[in-house]
Amino acid sequence: MIITKVNASTPYNVYIGKGLIDSFDLSPYAGKEDAVRKAAIITDEIVSPLYLYRVIKLFKKNGFEVCSCSFEGGEEHKTLDTVGKLLSFLSMHQLTRTDVVVALGGGIVGDVVGFAASVYLRGLDFIQIPTTLLAAVDSSVGGKTGVNFEGLKNQVGCFHQPSAVICDVDTFSTLPPARFSEGISEVIKYGVISSPEIFTMLENRTPIEEIVAKCVSIKALFVEGDEYDKGERQMLNFGHTVGHAIEKLSHGTVSHGNAVAVGMVVMTASAACLGYCTDDFSLRLSALLKKYNLPVSTDYTAADIAEAVLHDKKRSSDKVTLVLPEKLGKCILVPYKVDELAGLLGKGLSSSAEKK
């Protein structure tokens, strides 16, 4: 097992290994002898038949009193309505401030359950058990929780750090290949923003737990340096401004990982057009994405994407902060005028289409 510490305002460990959902020692998180701690284990309807029983067994074995529920997954259920139902569930089972909420599943489960945990009784401890690669390397770490609101992604939420993240990489074995590749898109992102070594690890097919640990250690540094996302942490949004726009334009039919893959290619090509980086880096990025069957182009126009970016959370007044690569492993944040964005994206889109 690999343990990575995240020194956020409330520090916690991320445990990465095999077989953890059956054998992890939860004693550091269990109640004192005289006070049994309740664990509300919450998942979605896809993960429930796969892993819920085993996770319930693990918590019971470690002395917790357990209640559990599952909700319908998918972006369309990442809503305040779902949060309301989860709050009713926590209330019905009389969870108190000494109890713990457990989010078992992918990024949507983690975000929604984390948000419910953050507001119930003004904040309960929660433990993330990510079961997708994407959640393991990104959303389960760093404390961002929330839901979509009025058609806008993650528009309502708060920062609430987990007490622990328990990542059992064996759970990735039940992911459809496309879902696994979605996670690889975020892994590649870490390579571009911080670590050329990740490209080598992927090219050499390094064991996935080592890749997850490397990504988590990078994310930990960004979170420690800028927990509330005011500066450097925005690097983690490389490819996401265009990616979120594509997700929105497609009404969710293009997955997050696929949209981010296209976003990374477009931003890299745009950076090359602005003279920040060279074309050969953009070719290496596209080749690696294609190796994992990730898309490198889109049919949406630059104008469509720029219009959708108007609603991006990362926009402030008339500017949006772009994450532009200078070379593999190094990006910079560039505030860019929203009304000039369509022009830049147009150049990026046509340059990336030429190299397809």
Chain residues binding ligand GLY by CB under 6 A are 138, 142, 144, 229, 233, 236
Closest CB 186 distance from ligand GLY, rounded Å: 8
- Residue 345 to residue 351: CA distance in whole angstroms: 10
**Residue type (1 letter), 279:** D
Closest CB 280 distance from ligand GLY, rounded Å: 28
What count of Cα atoms within 13 Å lies in the side-chain half-sphere of residue 52? 17
Where are any strands of DSSP class E within 109-225?
125-130, 144-149, 152-159, 164-168
Closer CB to ligand GLY, residue 144 or residue 248?
Answer: 144
Closest CB 117 distance from ligand GLY, rounded Å: 17
Q: How far apart are the first and last CA of the chain?
A: 40
- Of 24, 28, 25, residue with least CA distance to 11: 28
Closest CB 249 distance from ligand GLY, rounded Å: 20
What count of Cα atoms within 13 Å lies in the side-chain half-sphere of residue 77? 16
Closest CB 118 distance from ligand GLY, rounded Å: 15
Closer CB to ligand GLY, residue 38 or residue 144?
Answer: 144
Closest CB 241 distance from ligand GLY, rounded Å: 12
Closest CB 122 distance from ligand GLY, rounded Å: 23
Closest CB 144 distance from ligand GLY, rounded Å: 5
- Cβ within 8 Å of residue 104, ≥6 positions away: 41, 42, 43, 47, 51, 52, 55, 129, 131
Closer CB to ligand GLY, residue 90 or residue 259?
Answer: 259
Q: Are 181 and 188 in contact (CB under 8 A)?
A: no
- Residue reference for tokens 């609603």: 311
Closest CB 231 distance from ligand GLY, rounded Å: 11
Closer CB to ligand GLY, residue 116 or residue 223?
Answer: 223
- Of 298, 277, 295, residue with least CA distance to 286: 295
- Cβ within 8 Å of residue 48, ≥6 positions away: 70
Closer CB to ligand GLY, residue 201 or residue 236?
Answer: 236
- Of 334, 200, 181, residue with least CA distance to 260: 181
Please tell me whether residue 95 adopts helix, strand or coil conformation: coil
Closer CB to ligand GLY, residue 70 or residue 148?
Answer: 148
- Residue 52 to residue 40: CA distance in whole angstroms: 11
- Of 348, 313, 11, residue with least CA distance to 157: 313
Q: How far is CA 352 from CA 187, 282, 303, 336, in A?
A: 21, 8, 16, 20
Dihedral, CA atoms, 247, 277, 330, 321, nearest 10 degrees? -50
- Residue 67 to residue 40: CA distance in whole angstroms: 5
Closer CB to ligand GLY, residue 56 or residue 105?
Answer: 105
Closest CB 225 distance from ligand GLY, rounded Å: 11
Closer CB to ligand GLY, residue 52 or residue 294?
Answer: 294
Closer CB to ligand GLY, residue 4 or residue 351?
Answer: 4
Closer CB to ligand GLY, residue 6 or residue 42?
Answer: 6
